[in-house]
Amino acid sequence: MSSASASAPVLRPALQEIVGALTWRRAAVAALLALGVAALLNPVFSVSFWVLLGRMMFIAALLLITFAAAGTWHPRRIPPWLAQVLAVVIAAPIATVLAYLPSVDGNVIELLRHEGRVMGFVFITASVLFIAPLLALGALYRERDAQARAAQLGFALERSTLEKEALDTRLKLLQAQIEPHFLFNTLANVQALVESGSPQAAPVLKSLIAYLRAAMPRLHAGASTLGDEIALVRSYLELMRMRMPDRLAFAIDVPADIAARAFLPMSVLTLVENAVRHGIDPGENGGRIDISARHEADGSIRVIVADSGAGMSPAAVPGTGLTNLESRLRGFFGAAGRLELHEARPHGLSAEIVVPASPAAGAQTATPGARP
Amino acid sequence: MTAATALIADDEPLLRERLRAHLALLWPELEIVAEARNGREAIELFETHLPRIAFLDVHMPGLNGIDAARAIARRAELVFVTAHEHYAVQAFEHGEIDYVVKPFEEARLADSVTRLKSRLAAPQPLPSDFEAVLDRLAGELKARGGPEGRKYLQWIRASVASSVRLIPVEQIAFLRSDEKYTLVVWEGGEALIRTPIRELAEELDPDTFAQIHRSVIVNLRQVAQVDRGFNDTAEVRLKNRREVLPVSRSFLHVFRQM
């Protein structure tokens, strides 16, 4: 398991990763510390300061590369940070020996014979062993800090994306909901009723007005209850039944206590329009739409729009209406608000809105019957 | 000259009745020999009565007005009826095919009647671009109906409790083969389906779904990170989920170019 690659969801060649870890900043810190240690140890060393500094620089560079290389190794038994620190600790004496090799022409035995060199080796190894792990831990701390910041930025970005989506959805909703095709066909029917002096004309016109009023884009959608929404759905279905009396049957069964609850405007209507357009209208024989609402065992409420149409093809692209509804439900009811699609029996689609037991904090309590 | 006869096809009874009433006023001699409720009935009734004029609503269930027009073709004078002037105008602009718009306007309908009378008196051949105009109209109608079904799977049917759920594919986190079944894991739960993972791999949109293991397909949009492991394998972690999915060597290329 690795957390070192957490910020990068990619697989890169190890070499690239090592080079990536060798930042200018890290190199500068290592060089500065090498300079400081060389200056501190200078009084006890017999060799010139420049030779000492050269050795320290060499050791620092080697340890930095070790640290970076160990970062690409994703061990399974120990945490990766420990692996990196251990690598540096093990590399410290080896690097020191390597730093001394040029002065003894590559002969390690020669190195051990000279007391001054052994002392120098011990001094340098001790100071490196003291400083290097601390430095490694510091670097790792900074790395984690940077990762946390990156994650935070990621969250902020995701949140602003969500906010933008919510705004887009709202804007789309504000654009006219009324389809010209629906409007003119309905008006043609109303005209037919009026011209033939049918007593049906007045109630149908009333339904059309109720529908148009609700479907008009509104900037400030006022408080609305499920009952209001169902009244709108009824208007719409009455209009459609006038237009296709031999092809559409419908029934609405919503208990009064559920109807009184605050509800997302234009939500059930979206499902019913969808049921008419894709379930009832395409078939020569039409079908029926049943709208119901019930309390669930867990206290949530389920509003069901079931049609007896052909159902949904597995490759049918969900309409923007349905996609929007899903995000609008979340915006209004919180994460517990959702849309479920079930197959109806023997055929057709059952679209179900599930909302939490108590309305989300943002939902206002509604005054029944009041609509702007 | 034989008597003027006509067929009216519209799925909305009030509108059939209305057109019949208007025509009765404007052209009392015209005999409406049949009324059809959809394209299929229109074709059947046309074959039975062979009227000289057919009023065809463009939008009808089953076979629509355009399908009926293709079947009737040059055997009658055709008048399309539509509530959507926009696409009618687009489609008929250059064609010689007549149309009337709902709600009916007396004057407009009277124009059509005048044209029909002169055509019946001196039959003219249908415009040569007849088929092209119908194609154009069919195209407009289709565009209005929204995007068509794409070639990739958009929903997965799965039995959950006692009902059959339709799960939108974009909500799916991953699919895992489980012997005879495939486990579907999505935002709202888990379900077993009978479709083998091999088949699903072919039906899902490759831009969104990738097979990362012999038995695993992942939704790339839900991947949070990919951790490299030993021996050219890797592990995938998902957003908001605890599961860790294996990536086998032969599918590692999926993440190479990300």
Residue A188 structure tokens:
């043609």
Residue B142 structure tokens:
């289709």
- Say if residues B176 and B185 touch (Cβ distance below 8 Å): yes
Residue A174 structure tokens:
């504000």
pLDDT at B231 (0 to 100)? 74
CATH match for B5-144 among 3.40.50.720, 3.40.50.2300, 3.40.50.300, 3.10.20.30: 3.40.50.2300
pLDDT band at A10 (very low <50, low <70, confident <90, very high): very low
Cβ separation A11–B14 shorter than 8 A:
no
pLDDT band at A364 (very low <50, low <70, confident <90, very high): very low
**Probe site for chain B from A7, A181, A200 (most B CB atoms < 10 A):** A181
Query: Domain ends where: A171, A198, A224?
Result: A171
Query: Can you say whether the dihedral through the CA atoms of B116, B120, B123, B129 is positive or negative?
Result: positive
C-alpha–C-alpha distance, residues A351 and A304, integer Å = 6
Q: Where are the domains of chain B?
A: 5-144, 155-255
Give residue-wise pLDDT tens across range B47-78: 999 999 999 999 899 899 999 999 998 899 99
- Say if residues B195 and B235 touch (Cβ distance below 8 Å): no
Residue A117: phi and psi, rounded to 5, are -65, -40
Cβ separation A282–B61 shorter than 8 A:
yes
A88 located within any domain: yes
Give residue-wise pLDDT tens across range A202-244: 999 999 998 888 777 654 456 788 998 999 899 999 999 999 9
Q: How many CA atoms lie within 13 A of A120 on its CB side?
A: 27
Instruction: Give DSSP secondary structure letters for A81-107.
Output: HHHHHHHHHHHHHHHHHHHHGGGGTT-
Q: Does CATH place domain B155-255 in 3.30.420.10?
A: no
Q: How much is the pTM?
A: 0.68
Report whether pLDDT(A168) > 80: no
What's the DSSP call for residue B83? S
C-alpha–C-alpha distance, residues B6 and B72, integer Å = 13
Return the H-helix or E-strand segment holding A142: helix A115-174
C-alpha–C-alpha distance, residues B58 and A313, integer Å = 24
A366 located within any domain: no
List the Cα angle B185/B186/B192 in 5-degree steps. Answer: 40
Question: Of B41, B37, B61, which Cα lies nearest the Cα of B49?
Answer: B41
Residue B89 structure tokens:
């105008």
Cis amide bond preceding B103, omega within 30: yes
Q: Tell me the three state secondary structure of residue A74.
A: coil
> A116: Cβ–Cβ under 8 A, 6 or more apart, which residues?
A46
Higher pLDDT pick, A21 / A200: A200
CA distance A198 to chain B (A): 11
* Chain B CB contacts of A1 below 8 Å: 227
As for the ipTM of the complex, it is 0.82
Specify burial of residue A101 (Cβ count, 10 A radius: 0-12, 13-18, 19+): middle
For chain A, the average pLDDT equals 80
Cβ separation B84–A340 shorter than 8 A:
no
Question: Can you give the CATH number for the domain in which A208 is found?
Answer: 3.30.565.10
CA B170 from centre of chain: 22
User: Could you tell me the residue range of the domain that residue A126 belongs to?
Assistant: 14-171
Give residue-wise pLDDT tens across range A283-304: 899 999 999 999 999 889 999 9
pLDDT at A370 (0 to 100)? 38
pLDDT per residue of chain B (258 residues) written in tens, 0 to 9: 568 999 999 999 999 999 999 999 999 999 999 999 999 999 999 999 999 999 999 989 989 999 999 999 889 999 999 887 666 666 666 556 788 888 888 898 999 999 999 888 887 776 677 788 888 878 877 776 655 555 788 888 898 888 889 998 988 999 999 878 999 999 888 999 998 998 898 889 988 999 999 999 999 999 988 888 777 788 899 988 888 999 988 888 888 755
Domain count within chain A: 2
